[in-house]
Amino acid sequence: MTTATGAQEITYLEAISQALDEEMRQDPRVFLLGEDIGVYGGAFRITEGFQDKYGEWRVLDTPLSESAIVGAAIGAGMMGMRPVAEMQFADFISCAFDQLTEVAAKNHYRWGAAVPIVIRAPYGGGIHGGPFHSACPEAWFFHTPGLKIVAPATAYDAKGLLKAAIRDNNPVIYLEHKFLYRRIKEVLPEEEFVVPIGQAKVVREGQDLSLITYGAMVHVALEAAEILEREGIAMEVVDLRTLVPMDTDTILESVRKTSKVMVLHEDTKTGGVGAEIAARIAEQAFDALDGPIIRVAAPDTPVPYSPPLEAFFIPKVDDVLEAARGLAAY
């Protein structure tokens, strides 16, 4: 879609593709590796045409081995390259768990070695992918010192955070939500921009309660906030954008402003990112609270394949509304 000013709207998916293209054009050390990303252009067509443009040595089709993909990326990164490795679906990142948590995350601690790699991980449900293609794996790595984790919710952040991740000297897990790929559109600046890692953003101001979230749930939160406003409840929405390092200052500032807080994420509830956020608030802003810290998250089961069950499983607007109304009246 073209706007009245002639600017072109691009999708979340196209923003990711643009970031990769720009960084590869600017820095010959940047290269891509993953399953079917070259000739085929990737499972979601994000790297379509890249191999023709940059050659097969900078857009590498790999065997079906996530451990080998990440291991090769770590080695290349330690030798001065800036690899971007794709997990075709984030669920399969578990096959590379040892490489990420025992090698990439610890090399700087052990001998000061930089590991400038990015792991692109298409994650999340809403696409009827079932239990092996819909997981949110952030909590697995959230507990691992040495890894950075980003989770953009908009096309602007998808592009800006990916560029920042590629330029970072640390291993970064880049969570890109599959449900947003072609559903979210935005007009992006023509000039180059980068979104700094580690900075949350208040995407909607409010005075009555705060909702802390990230990824696709940002849009669920904003839709719920619109409905609540018509009921006289002003809900502030904070988009974390980065999970590690977490912008605790922005979270606490919002909590102290509203005195009531909810945490929303698509991942399952027990041991999730929301539990850590709740703990930090309880430790550092307990005196500001006028109600319990509420978590809205998926139930502790694998992601169902059945569309009706998946719709029940993933947190939705009605879930947020029910929790928010109860908290506002507390």
Contact 9, 3 (CB under 8 A): yes
CA–CA distance, 230 with 310 (Å, rounded to integer): 29
Contact 242, 158 (CB under 8 A): no
Is 133 an annotated catalytic residue?
yes
Cβ neighbourhood burial of 229 (10 Å; 0-12, 13-18, 19+): middle
**How far does Cα 282 stand from its chain's mean position?**
25
φ, ψ at 320 (rounded to 5°): -65, -40
Instruction: Give bridge partners of residue 176 from the DSSP assignment.
Output: 122
DSSP annotation string for 161-199: HHHHHHH-SS-EEEEEEGGGTTT-EEEPPSS---PPTT-
- Sign of the CA dihedral running 270, 274, 276, 278: negative
Q: Which one of the listed residues 108, 128, 133, 265 is annotated catalytic? A: 133
**How far does Cα 320 stand from its chain's mean position?**
20
Contact 134, 111 (CB under 8 A): no
H/E stretch holding 311 reads helix 307-313
Three-state DSSP class for residue 182? coil
Contact 144, 138 (CB under 8 A): no
- Catalytic residue numbers read 133
